[in-house]
């Protein structure tokens, strides 16, 4: 077995993951399910370790295409069970495990971060599982815990299942099928597997394999270590290795760090002016809350590679953000996130979409790929969206350092400001002198090219400015995105 540092990751193009025990902590579910089946229909109590050992041995030696029906038939004959039909027993097995798979199953620690990091680096990601489509549907359509982190069907470029092959692991057919699909060489592939059976299938396909530790595979630990190419105790080990090879930190983790930094800021929390409360509410003090507000203004993590970077003035009332967070928490899935964003009723959103889509000449149909943020990152207290109940200039300038870090992270081609205060923040970041009014700004600086960025000031979408004048300025964006 070689050290993980000996792996030449730069020569790999296709990264392949097994699912049960590798991506997902699911092996224990099947041990408990089979134990319950045997006790319920055979009136015998079998130790979990013994159940796994017998199941692994059976699956390893069987070549039957309908392996799970055959396994149920094996259980009926072995114990023997009062239920005599193997397909009926298989259905009962699904009945017992289904609720657990839907409500309790989760990804292994740090694997979601690794998947997104590999995706960001341009690898082709493949899921190779002997699981059936029935089980995949539970994970990709019903398991809210998993869906809130990652949807397998959206993240993986190619998925092979039990239904796609005739022979199960350790036969290498599933991996040979993948190589044939991509016309890939074995040397261009890398596999992650948890079990001896999976590692053996990888080796028989001629592909290098990383064994990810799973306690349920301890019974065959020595055999695994005798044939695997590499071994890691946890996915954090491999993330650290990838980051050392490519000298990168994933954008999403950098944004996590930015949210935490904003959460520690208190500049605008206790402002008082002429008897008025000009203070703001720092939504970032609660890290998980700040990450789970479904709005175009907070949809940061899905838009970190955007070419267009739009800056509004401020979020508006904290109470509205709290309501959005609450509605998302009732169903924390990507589908609900998208649904809530689509339902967002905002004239600013409506008119911004109108101007961008109309001016693009068919380049975009919506603004879902555009990064949208604000000059003032905290939320207003109370219920007002506008007015002088906050100190706009002071808060804008205080927040400019956070806006700068967002720009440096996203690296857009075009930066667009909506109204005066976002442009004020950009003048501080990029060091140019600002005229007193927005109209003068647009007249003097219709386009600014600075530090490899194109900056275009716009009137606020709901400002009392003729549509033709708005569109003329918005249209300049597309001149720089040809």
Classify residue 256 as exposed, middle or buried by CB count within 10 Å of its CB (0-12, 13-18, 19+).
Answer: middle
Q: Can you tell me the distance from the alpha carbon of 60 to that of 65, in angstroms, rounded to the nearest whole number?
A: 13
Find the helix or strand (DSSP H, E) in which 392 lies.
helix 392-410
| Position 17 confidence tier, pLDDT thresholds 50, 70, 90 | very high
Q: Can you tell me the distance from the alpha carbon of 335 to that of 324, in angstroms, rounded to the nearest whole number?
A: 14
Contacts of 455 (CB under 8 A, 6+ apart): 414, 415, 416, 417, 426, 430, 445, 447, 448, 449
Could you report the per-residue pLDDT of 77-101, keeping only the tens digit for each? 999 899 999 999 988 988 888 788 8
| Position 436 confidence tier, pLDDT thresholds 50, 70, 90 | confident
Q: Which residue has the tokens 């399910």?
A: 33
Is the pLDDT at 247 greater than 90? The verdict is no
Output the DSSP codes for 320-385: HHHHHHHHHHTS-SHHHHHHHHHH---HHHHHHHHHHHHHTTTS-SSSTTSEEEEEE-SEESSS-S
- The pLDDT value recorded for residue 275 is 66
Angle between helices 251-263 and 111-120 (to 10 degrees): 120
Average pLDDT, the chain: 90
Contacts of 13 (CB under 8 A, 6+ apart): 123, 124, 184, 188, 189
Distance of CA 110 to the CA centre of its chain: 12
Tell me what percent of the residues of the chain surpass a pLDDT of 90: 60
Q: Single out the residue of 412, 434, 413 nearest to residue 422, CA to CA.
A: 434
Contacts of 99 (CB under 8 A, 6+ apart): none
- The pLDDT value recorded for residue 62 is 74
Pairing between β-strand 371-376 and β-strand 448-450 as defined by DSSP bridges: unpaired
Specify the 3-state DSSP secondary structure of 176. helix
Could you report the per-residue pLDDT of 159-209, keeping only the tens digit for each? 999 899 988 889 999 999 999 999 999 999 999 999 999 999 999 999 999
| Position 56 confidence tier, pLDDT thresholds 50, 70, 90 | confident
Is the pLDDT at 339 greater than 70? The verdict is yes
Q: What is the DSSP letter of 266?
A: -
The sign of the CA dihedral 159, 164, 170, 176 is negative
326: its two tokens = 């609450």
Is the pLDDT at 303 greater than 80? The verdict is yes
| Position 313 confidence tier, pLDDT thresholds 50, 70, 90 | very high
Instruction: Work out the average pLDDT over 6-33.
Output: 91
- The pLDDT value recorded for residue 221 is 93
Q: Can you tell me the distance from the alpha carbon of 150 to that of 396, in angstroms, rounded to the nearest whole number?
A: 34
């Amino acid at each position: 077995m070689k050290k993980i540092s000996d792996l030449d990751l730069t020569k790999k193009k296709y990264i392949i993951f097994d699912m049960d025990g590798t991506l997902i902590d699911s092996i224990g579910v099947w041990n408990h399910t089979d134990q319950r089946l045997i006790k319920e229909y055979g009136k015998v109590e079998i130790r979990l370790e013994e159940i796994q050992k017998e199941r692994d041995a059976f699956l390893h030696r069987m070549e039957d295409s309908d392996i799970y029906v055959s396994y149920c038939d094996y259980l009926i004959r072995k114990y023997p069970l009062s239920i005599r039909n193997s397909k009926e027993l298989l259905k009962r097995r699904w009945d017992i495990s289904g609720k657990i798979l839907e409500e309790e199953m989760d990804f292994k620690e740090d694997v979601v971060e690794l998947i997104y990091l590999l995706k960001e680096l341009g690898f082709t990601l493949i899921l190779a599982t002997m699981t059936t489509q029935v089980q995949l549907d539970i994970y990709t359509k019903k398991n809210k815990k998993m869906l809130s982190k990652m949807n397998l069907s959206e993240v993986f470029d190619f998925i092979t299942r039990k239904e796609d092959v005739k022979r199960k692991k350790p036969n290498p057919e599933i991996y040979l099928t993948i190589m044939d699909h991509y016309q890939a060489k074995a040397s261009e592939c890398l596999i992650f597997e948890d079990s001896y059976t999976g590692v053996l299938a990888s080796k028989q396909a001629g592909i290098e394999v990383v064994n990810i530790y799973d306690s349920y595979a301890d019974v065959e630990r020595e055999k695994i270590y005798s044939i695997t190419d590499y071994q890691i105790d946890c996915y954090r080990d491999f993330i650290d290795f990838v980051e050392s090879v490519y000298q990168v930190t994933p954008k999403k983790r950098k944004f996590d760090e930015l949210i935490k930094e904003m959460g520690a800021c208190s500049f605008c929390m206790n402002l008082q002016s002429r008897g008025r409360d000009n203070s703001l509410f720092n939504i970032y003090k609660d890290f998980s809350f700040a990450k789970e507000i479904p709005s175009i203004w907070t949809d940061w993590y899905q838009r970190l590679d955007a070419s267009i970077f739009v800056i509004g003035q401020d979020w508006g009332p904290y109470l509205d953000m709290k309501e959005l967070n609450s509605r998302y928490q009732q169903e924390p899935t990507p589908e609900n996130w998208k649904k809530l964003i689509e339902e967002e009723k905002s004239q600013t959103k409506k008119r911004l979409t109108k101007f961008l889509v109309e001016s693009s000449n068919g380049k975009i149909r919506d603004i879902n790929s555009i990064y949208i943020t604000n000059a003032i990152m905290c939320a207003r207290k109370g219920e007002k969206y506008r007015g002088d109940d906050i100190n706009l200039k002071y808060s804008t300038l205080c927040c400019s350092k956070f806006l700068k870090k967002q720009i440096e992270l996203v690296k857009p081609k075009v930066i667009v400001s909506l109204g005066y205060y976002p442009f004020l923040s950009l003048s501080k970041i990029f060091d140019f002198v600002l005229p007193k009014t927005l109209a003068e700004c647009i007249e003097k600086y219709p386009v600014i090219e600075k530090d490899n960025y194109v900056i275009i000031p716009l009137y606020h979408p709901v400002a009392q400015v003729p549509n033709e004048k708005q569109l003329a300025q918005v249209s300049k964006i597309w001149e720089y995105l040809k």
